[in-house]
Amino acid sequence: RLVTAQHFGNTTHAPKMSAAMASCAANARAVAVKPAIGSKRSNALRRAGSRVVTASSRRTVMTAKAEYKVAVLGAAGGIGQSLSLLLKMNPLISELALYDIANTPGVAADLSHTNTTCSVKGYAGDDELAAALKGCDLVIIPAGV
């Protein structure tokens, strides 16, 4: 515990503080304190629910039932495959459309073996591009061509 001149009624009896101790005391007062349970701030966070992303509400956000369709154009490449795997693990995505000029159905088959609720479909070639993009909420293009 830091002792400052405020703790003494008479400042002549207060111990001398070095510049480093004064700086440390100022920093200690500036640090935000976690709200106590039942305080006004914690009640406000609880009422806000999943609209506020904090460490305690992250679980609420992750259990949301969003139904997003995402298309990855260039999914057969090195970056596209890794990105597609990360997107498939996201619980907010319900459908993943993978498109590339070749080898995309194989990538989709590999990703379909992961244990998630997201469905994956692969599209290859120019004639399947429109089908891959139909109904998409988000299109990501990691293709380097």
Which tens digits make up the pLDDT trace of 35-72? 555 555 555 555 655 554 545 544 444 555 679 999 99
What pLDDT shows up at residue 92? Answer: 93
What pLDDT shows up at residue 144? Answer: 82
Q: Nearest 5°: CA angle at 136, between 135 and 138?
A: 160
Enter the pTM of the model: 0.56
Tokens of 115: 């244990």
What pLDDT shows up at residue 22? Answer: 57
What pLDDT shows up at residue 17? Answer: 53
Quick one: how far is CA 12 from the chain centroid? Answer: 53
Which DSSP string do the residues of the chain spell out, in sequence order?
----GGG-SSGGGSPP--HHHHHHHHHHHHSPPPPPTTSHHHHHHHHHGGGS--TTTHHHHHT----EEEEEETTTSHHHHHHHHHHHT-TTEEEEEEEESSSHHHHHHHHTTSSSS-EEEEEESGGGHHHHHTT-SEEE-----
What pLDDT shows up at residue 81? Answer: 94
Walk along the chain (145 residues) in steps of 10 and give the mean pLDDT of each run: 49 52 52 51 56 50 73 95 95 95 91 92 94 96 86
Query: From CA 83, how far away is CA 6, in angstroms rounded?
Result: 57
What pLDDT shows up at residue 66? Answer: 74
What pLDDT shows up at residue 134? Answer: 96
